Amino acid sequence: MRTEEPRPVRLADYRSPDWRIGTVELDVALHPTATTVRAKLSISPNGAAAPAPLVLDGDELTLRSIRLDGEPLAAESFVATPDRLTIAQAPQRPFELEIETVLDPTNNTKLMGLYRAGSTYCTQCEAEGFRRITYFLDRPDVMAVYTTRIEADKAEAAVLLSNGNLLAHGDIPGTSRHYAVWHDPFPKPAYLFALVGGNLGCVSDSFTTMSGRNIRLAIYVEPGKEDRCDYAMDSLKRAMRWDEVAFGREYDLDIFMIVAVSAFNMGAMENKGLNVFNDKYVLASPATATDGDYAGIEAVIAHEYFHNWTGDRITCRDWFQLCLKEGLTVFRDQEFTADQRSRAVERISDVRELRASQFVEDAGPLAHPVRPTLYHEINNFYTATVYQKGAEVVRMIKTLLGPQAFRAGMDLYFTRHDGHAATVEQFVQCFAEISGRDMSQFMRWYSQAGTPEIKVAPHYDTAARSLRLDISQIVPPTPAQPNKEPMLVPLALGLVGRNGEDLPLLLDGRPLPRGVIEVTRASQSFLFSEVPERPALSLNRAFSAPIKLSLPIEAGELRFLAAHDCDPFNRWQAIQTLAMALLKSNVAAICSGGEPRLDRGLMDALGAILKDTALEPAFIALTLSPPSEADIAREIGCDVDPDAVYAARRKLRAAIGARHGKTLTETYTRMMATGAYRPDAESAGRRALKNACLDLLALTETDAAIARAFSQYGEADNMTDRMAALETLAAHNRPERAAALDDFYARYANDPLVIDKWFALQAVIPEPTTLDRVRSLTRHPAFSAANPNRIRALIGAFAQANQTQFNRRDGAGYDFVADFVLELDPKNPQVAARLMSAFRSWRALEAQRRARAEATLRRVAAIQSLSPDVHDIVARTLADN
């Protein structure tokens, strides 16, 4: 309940803790509604000048007893409320505090702290969930060594797990209960604590580290799902090996465990030695998982494993430093995927995602720096900016320093800060020291929000054989940051000659290291000499900086780059740039009652890519997909009509289907697989291209094309092909759609993860009847508002991925989502707040929708009982600055 305006937490107010906790001994007796937790904490003063009171965090806690150095603490010596335990005059010497609390995991619907996912007991402590288990100094710079004893009824929880290595286990004589004792020798903050109890199946394997240590690997899942863990286990072993090779990082405990649970607020959690996963990112079989699911599992397993060093061994000093572990670890998992699959395809996919989510966030009221300086609710800062832009910032350090110096800087970081809670400054300092560079301007990537806009004007001098680039930059204003300083932008570039080959790069007469210029001022010029001919400019190769680039470039030159650039990212980008220009002008035409036009040049360029058999199929598939609706809306910037955006994009895709029908049909056939399904990147790429062809052909609305999709749906021997066909059918209001949707439900009714696909698919149908469909699906027996995966599949997909129906002109989409959020908020505020962020682009909409969205936002904001989570999102979304 919100009784007063919550006070923000500010980076500037950081102080090191007054107290340390050296060891934590937990004794947890699991019970569905009355779990008791005895915590024995060894506490000592942290050298504070004046005696400080001991204030421990809590959240909805019930205190049963408290003892200090073995003696019960007198009632007048402490004050315990559900959210705080204060001992005003704690001894100014080391002492031991024993706290007993009692919890109700079954009714913990927030899924933070100790809760139950189905019948399994599990914990989620990041960011501030440990304080829902016991009173504690719940901040990441308090690192302690944990020993955890768990006991439970054997029938209810045969498996008892916690962080670290297993010390002891056995039956409790004379009872139906048993126990296990785990010890984690590595000091860790409370947010990395985990505990699991349940009846779970286990898949075991082993891994030999580079120094020859044998590690036991175990994945725990619901009994009966053990045969869906192979890919997760294989991904884990590949990730462990890759981290040894790429970063010299070896695993440290004797055992590494993953537990898959069905109810989880996030994707997965990197608790030391005991990762807890949303089962969506563990379970896969060809019959139930798409190629996208397989790739997601590989990436998330790797990401959480990589946290063992970047997050666990070296953690964050405070939550403002969240990007220190997340941005860095996303960078590491993207590099892993690039090495395991195709670097070009990975880079394009990552940038598409960055533009669709982070650029959109950066352009709206929820924009914030990679390292924020203020928050009301830290749960709302697990954002695209912290994760994805945070990864881009690390990638820019590597681009600026080169791979060797970057690796040396990482090595220094691991050596210097192992076992500590670090800051972004300390991280960047390692690279400054290794390279001898001044990184102070670079730090603005952490402090300034907004996507920098870089303008480039090229001037070729035929007589002097020189090329001058006049470059200017601005960083647009964002909330609380009206004025910005120039950024250091590493811009990788190439000068492409008429024969398609790169010309030499001589900047001021000297070869340019790694082909990267460094833009540092609001405006500056770069002079390239000995340029024998007027080149085509290939700028921001491999997307070396997360910027918006504008360059006066002719369509003919873009088509030339699409065909010849040696940088595959910029070949893809050239097509995207052509398509974006066409889409923007067609949206304007549709809005003013005109007809969208066609672009022969773009069609020809796409045709050439489609026929280029030297290209990877996955790359071609990505090239055939025009910019997303969210991306187009962001480029338009104001007075956006989502119906016009959708219509323009669909028209363009239909035109591709019509213009290249023959080639698409041939490609579809050529990409068909023989033999059993394999989830590897190459096979997945062939399926991606095949299914892109299927979808484009169906947009011609011929009976034959729809029939092809319907028959692929029925005959598919794997989920990727079946799901792709269903997606294609879902976009066409034909009898085949209803038939396939009914069939799909009948086939997979018992598999919640597959039924999530069925929910999501229906939620994104861009038709006016969809809202009623979604409304009635909330009453479907397979839907449950207690499970975040179901919510994300149905309501999340509708709000975030259905631009036309969420943004209905009559405002009914807004009201539906807001009402759902209000109902969910008291039970699970974290997921409710996430849904509410779908409103983040409301100011960019045309007037009528803007008014409807604002009315809905104000209606929500007026409610007094909002959680801090939802209140924070709504307040920032409505704020004027």
Q: If residue 317 lies in a helix (H) or strand (E), which one and from where to where?
A: none
Smallest separation, CB 738 to Zn ion (Å): 40
- Tokens 């033999």: give the residue: 675
Between helix 681-698 and helix 642-659 the angle, nearest 10°, is 100
Distances (CA, A) of 365 to 531, 805, 835: 45, 22, 15
Comparing CA positions, the residue from 757, 756, 723, 718 lying closest to residue 740 is: 723
Q: Is 316 helix (H, G, I), strand (E, B) or coil?
A: strand
Its sign, for the CA torsion 21, 26, 31, 34, is negative
Nearer to Zn ion, 329 or 573 (CB): 329
- Write down the least CB distance from residue 302 to Zn ion, Å: 11
| Cis peptide bond upstream of 88, omega within 30 | no
Q: Alpha carbon of 312 to those of 114, 129, 137: distances in Å?
A: 20, 17, 17
Query: Which CB, 329 or 544, lies closer to Zn ion?
Result: 329
At 682, list the tokens.
């190459």
Does residue 487 contact residue 475 with C-beta atoms inside 8 Å? Answer: yes
Nearer to Zn ion, 358 or 718 (CB): 358
Give counts: helices (H), strands (E), the chain: 30, 33
Q: What does the CA dihedral 488, 545, 241, 182 come to, rounded to 10 degrees?
A: 70
Cβ 303 to Zn ion, closest distance in Å? 6
- Kindly tell me which of 298 and 854 has the beta carbon lying closer to Zn ion: 298
Nearer to Zn ion, 326 or 377 (CB): 326
Q: At 297, which amino acid appears? A: I
Query: Is there a catalytic annotation at residue 304?
Result: yes
Q: At what angle do helices 812-824 and 829-836 cross, to 10 degrees?
A: 160
Look at residue 629 and give its three-state secondary structure: helix
Minimum distance from residue 329 beta carbon to Zn ion (Å): 5
Nearest approach, Cβ of 404 to Zn ion (angstroms)? 27
Q: What are phi and psi of 36, to 5 degrees?
A: -100, 140
| Least Å from the CB of residue 278 to Zn ion | 13
Say if residues 229 and 203 touch (Cβ distance below 8 Å).
yes
Q: Is 751 helix (H, G, I), strand (E, B) or coil?
A: coil
Torsion angle, CA of 151/154/159/164, rounded to 10 degrees? 20
- Kindly tell me which of 57 and 326 has the beta carbon lying closer to Zn ion: 326
Residue for token pair 């005059």: 89
For Zn ion, the closer of residues 310 and 787 by Cβ is 310
Quote the least distance from Cβ 299 to Zn ion, whole Å: 11
The nearest distance, CB 326 to Zn ion, in angstroms, is: 5
Chain residues that interact with Zn ion, rule: CB under 5 A: 326, 329
What tokens appear for 496 in the block?
């492409």
21 or 266: CB nearest Zn ion:
266
Extract the tokens encoding 413: 């970081």
- Rank residues 277 and 820 by Cβ distance to Zn ion and give the closer one: 277
| 460: Cα separation from own chain's centroid | 42
> 699 CB contacts (<8 Å, ≥6 apart)?
650, 653, 654, 656, 657, 658, 705, 731
Question: Which residue is catalytic, options 151, 222, 270, 304?
Answer: 304
With beta carbons less than 8 A apart as the criterion, state whether 279 and 261 touch. yes
Shortest Å, Cβ 876 to Zn ion: 23
Amino acid at 276: V
Q: Which residues are known catalytic residues?
A: 304
